[in-house]
Amino acid sequence: MPYLFTSESVSEGHPDKVADQISDALIDHFLAYDQTSKVACETLVTTGQVVLAGEVKSEAYLDVQEIAREVIRKIGYTKSEYMFEANSCGIFSAIHEQSPDINQGVERRNPEEQGAGDQGMMFGYATRETENYMPLALDLAHKLLIELAAIRRENKEITYLRPDAKSQVTIEYSDDNKPVRIDTIVISTQHDDFDNEEKMLAKIKQDMINILIPRVKAQLKPELQALFNDKITYHINPTGKFVIGGPHGDTGLTGRKIIVDTYGGKGAHGGGAFSGKDPSKVDRSAAYATRHIAKNLVAAGLCEEVLVQVSYAIGVARPCGLFIDTHGTAKVKMTDGEIARKVEEIFDLRPYAIEQRLKLRNPIYSDTAAYGHMGRESQVVTKVFNKGKKNEKKVEVETFTWEKLDYVDKVKAAFGL
């Protein structure tokens, strides 16, 4: 029997994502000036206020206030009527030194034996459903908001948009798990005040359906464009007026959008957030490593979809276990347990090995903090820190390394594909 599956996304101006982006900007600045930095940084944003808290072990000294203001400015909170504005918001820092009790469990005389920064389990997932091996509902939800942000910054076709927004996509699947059509699209976007609320709502709905949706469709392959139809149910700003938004409308905290950050509810999640954590924290690095494994297994033709789980004990380098579930789609005559044992031979999942393989000691994390950590394109870019100041630094980095299909040949060779 056909079924429905839903995923959501939130924009870079959503208060929780504002917090994530500030936390990851701090991570990047610490790593740019000291690659050995150990950081766990949390951010809270609310009306006119930013609170920074966390633990740091680093040789770098940062102007955390200016870093936070630059993030807020880039997102688009630059007007006083937003009640949260880059130049005027208060910023309080309660960042202090990392506990030596935690640090002794992570650092080792032999770097290869670096211990996991915490216990826990992390999951990676991949599916052939899209070109980037991501679940389709989440991929479309992200694309809607990326394009909405582009329209906001252009300020031409639609001129009333404000930074905060959310999207949600529901897709109907057939019995054999193939997407048949888009059933429902939900978009809630913050906007400037209007004199007439009824006309405002009608205008926003018309613009979302006639401007935003066609721009997103144009980016898709024909088979995905065909999923859009005249029977889609649209809920556009269903609560009505949405002028008060962002950190003034809701308090934002780092790490509260973990499903948006990963697979939109497909697969599984270990519960640990990513933003604000340096790669010694396996919540982040091992989640990237399992995505890297999952994507390469599917791309190599081993299976149509796969869930990969790894688990750790704090201070211990070697994982407690590796679990793989191909959902019955494996193309080799092996059990999932046998596949897992062979995968362990291909991918070294000790924390230090993950950091080295995926180049995670580089300042690459600001790019991850909005529109998902997975399914993005790996690129080599030059990042500039403290531009125009005495300590300006340029760093060439490779982003989203866990999205590279650089282990496909090794997987094929190992499994005889």
Q: Which residues are annotated as a binding site for Mg(2+)?
A: 16
Residues 315 and 113: beta-carbon distance below 8 Å: no
226: Cβ contacts below 8 Å, ≥ 6 apart: none
Binding positions: 14, 16, 42, 55, 98, 164-166, 241-242, 250, 256-257, 273, 277, 281
Distances (CA, A) of 155 to 14, 276, 311: 19, 31, 46
Q: How many CB atoms lie within 10 A of CB 388?
A: 6
Type of residue at 401? T
> Residue 416 gets which letter from DSSP?
T
Q: At what angle do helices 336-346 and 408-415 cross, to 10 degrees?
A: 130
Binding positions for ATP: 14, 164-166, 241-242, 250, 256-257, 273, 277
Binding positions for K(+): 42
Token pair in block for residue 390:
């005495």
Binding positions for L-methionine: 55, 98, 250, 281
Rounded Cα distance between 5 and 36, Å, is 42
Rounded Cα distance between 244 and 266, Å, is 32
120: Cβ contacts below 8 Å, ≥ 6 apart: 270, 271, 272, 282, 283, 311, 312
Token pair in block for residue 354:
């993950």
Residue by residue, DSSP assigns 161-206 as: EEEEEEEEEEEEE-TTS-EEEEEEEEEEEEE---S-HHHHHHHHHH
